[in-house]
Amino acid sequence: AQSVTQLGSHVSVSEGALVLLRCNYSSSVPPYLFWYVQYPNQGLQLLLKYTSAATLVKGINGFEAEFKKSETSFHLTKPSAHMSDAAEYFCAVSESLMNRDDKIIFGKGTRLHILP
């Protein structure tokens, strides 16, 4: 069964600094991997997803993530943080078996704080 571990429930970075949110996954087969963002009192919105094409995935709002099979990681980065990036971020994994009803498993989330 697949699982996701997000390191750090809270991360604080200064405005303009690098954002790095860590995610490690466990899956018995090649995974699909996702990062979702949740703003206060809103539902989740997809930032980006990995579906076995390019290992470096670019998403919305300047975010990107790199799939590293050897490290079972899918860390989220953004070169320069903006105040509007303050939100909760969720890493998620789904198993890539075709013709199956694949359940997506979410991590516990990382709250990103942006310091002025």
**E strands, 27-86, where?**
31-38, 44-50, 56-58, 64-68, 73-78
Site string for other proteins, 57-76 (x = CB under 8 A): --------------------
Shortest distance (Å) from residue 88 CB to other proteins? 9
3-state DSSP assignment of residue 17: coil
**9 contact partners, CB below 8 Å, separation of at least 6:** 108, 109, 110, 111
> Taking CB under 8 A as the rule, does residue 98 contact other proteins?
yes
Shortest distance (Å) from residue 7 CB to other proteins? 14
> Taking CB under 8 A as the rule, does residue 32 contact other proteins?
yes
> Taking CB under 8 A as the rule, does residue 102 contact other proteins?
yes
> Residues binding other proteins: what is the number (CB under 8 A)?
30
Residue 40 phi/psi, 5-degree rounding, is: -50, 135
> Taking CB under 8 A as the rule, does residue 22 contact other proteins?
no
3-state DSSP assignment of residue 66: strand
Which amino acid is it at 105? Answer: I
Residues that bind other proteins (CB under 8 A): 4, 9, 32, 34, 36, 41-46, 49, 51, 90, 92, 94-104, 106-109
